[in-house]
Amino acid sequence: MAYSYSFLPHDSFDDNDFKNFPILDDHVIGAIWLPTLHDGAGDFKRLKKNPSLSELSDSSSFIPRNSSAASLSSSGPQIRDRIKSYSQLYLEAEALDGPGGEGAEGNADEMKLVQQLISCAEAVACRDRAHASLLLSDLRARALVFGSAFQRVASCFVQGLADRLAMVQPLGAVGYPTLPKMNIMDAASEKKEEALRLVYDICPYIQFGHFVANSAILEAFEGERLVHVVDLGMTLGLPHGHQWRNLIHSLAKRPGAPPARLRVTAVGLSRDKFIAIGEELEARAAEAGVEFEFSVVHSNLESLKPEDVKVEVGEVVVVNTILQLHCVVKESRGALNSVLQIVHELAPKVMVVVEQDSSHNGPFFLGRFMEALHYYSAIFDSLDAVLPKYDTRRAKMEQFYFAEEIKNIVSCEGPARVERHERVDQWRRRMSRAGFQPVPLKIAAQAKQWLSSINAGEGYTTVEEKGCVVLGWKSKPIIAASCWKC
């Protein structure tokens, strides 16, 4: 039986695991990483820790060399112990499939690739250019863009490590290299736009966010005549306004009569794209017999002002944000708090938040790196389950959508790092501090039925977690939806 790897023993690292190690260039060395193996049925097997190391002749090649003395003088033993533990785990994985089998060979290669990635990340964090460059050269040969699911995700992390190494500053330098400030709300290249459309069509993640959000919005609009949606980011500018097309259809078919008027306000910097979406929605609303108005607020979230959003007397307002709010989570809480304060002043009946459910905003580089490796390995595994190796659609999604997120997490710091995904528990704390109260979402059963209806395939899971609904792949959380009121 072939197994796939779940690289962390828990869903996320605790930053306390890193705080006792020396910090250099946002660097720490984490606790021992104990992978688990699971089969296609979702059964998990914990690996043991005591096989012999003698069978792995080249394990020492993955131990960081010539790293900064300040870092390795105290952390070197932990690094070597951790690398050795990977060798042990590789041998145990090989034993599970039997000697000489195809699965054993694949697991061996992937475990070596894991070891080398972690060693390279540590060398980059220690600013060891020479060793990191050697490791990157070997990794480029191993991490194939059209290889196995893990080789493909590894290739994206290799790109991110290479970019980070290129920006490494000398020891003692202060601040971050000058980088162009990124804003995910801006219009992307044609390739990125095509990749976003493919992710929407093929993967259930964004569609899941739309389904849960619309379910909460329809409940908030029940019996209301004047309804107003404020959409922060318009789902990254996804063409055609899929979410609001579905909402218009549902409002037109609701018991009684549709609302007297539906207004949608799009907030973001892609004015021309939003206007095109608005025109399509107006035509769709006219066909459905729903009175519809569309407006655009040309502003990023950090520059948004309360007076930018026009709310009319008697309107019931909801605020919708899909994969957007994490972009204003910075080292300080100011930017996010400002956005949430503006939302609070709009007095929405509900605010729906859909975000990646993973910890990619920790203070330490290696912690973020390993959490991201775990998270995106699950996503690439899900793509492997539905698309063949040489499918160009798969390559476009991996290289022009998910790889862009990975590279931002791995290579960027300061204002340039905008992919600051956080776990749903952290969002609960942030929203509560901003004066919002949770509105439990009791639609896990409907979400499972929805997954079946779109033929998403086996492997996806939906669970309710403290009032939130989480979509995962083989029990690894991917996307979480939550609902809030003032």
Report domain extents, the chain. 4-178+363-416, 199-357+421-485
170 pLDDT band, cuts 50/70/90, is low
Mean of the per-residue pLDDT values for the chain? 81
> How far apart are the C-alpha atoms of 89 and 403, rounded to whole Å?
27
Least confident of 50-59, 124-133, 185-194: 50-59
Mean pLDDT of 238-262: 96
**How many Å from the N-terminal Cα to the C-terminal Cα in the chain?**
51
Closest to 358 measured CA to CA, from 329, 318, 384: 329
282 has a pLDDT exceeding 80: yes
Which DSSP string do the residues of 327-363 spell out, in sequence order?
A: GG--SSSHHHHHHHHHHHHT--SEEEEEEEBS----S
Q: What percent of the chain has pLDDT over 70?
A: 73
Q: Per residue in 38-68, pLDDT tens?
A: 333 333 333 333 333 233 333 333 333 343 4
Kindly give, in sequence order, each residue whose CB lies less than 8 Å from that of residue 112, ignoring residues fewer than 6 positions away: 58, 62, 90, 142
E strand segments, 340-475: 350-356, 437-438, 460-465, 468-473
227 has a pLDDT exceeding 60: yes
Q: Hey, what are 394's tokens?
A: 């798969």
Mean pLDDT of 406-412: 97
User: Is the pLDDT higher at 398 or at 73?
Assistant: 398
Side-chain-side CA neighbours of 253 within 13 Å: the count stands at 6
Look at residue 201 in the predicted model and tell me its pLDDT.
96
Q: Which CATH number fits domain 199-357+421-485: 3.40.1280.10, 3.40.50.300, 3.40.50.150, 3.30.70.270?
A: 3.40.50.150
Look at residue 26 in the predicted model and tell me its pLDDT.
38
Closest to 210 measured CA to CA, from 352, 309, 97: 352
Q: Per residue in 21-35, pLDDT tens?
A: 333 333 333 333 333
101 has a pLDDT exceeding 60: no
Look at residue 155 in the predicted model and tell me its pLDDT.
98
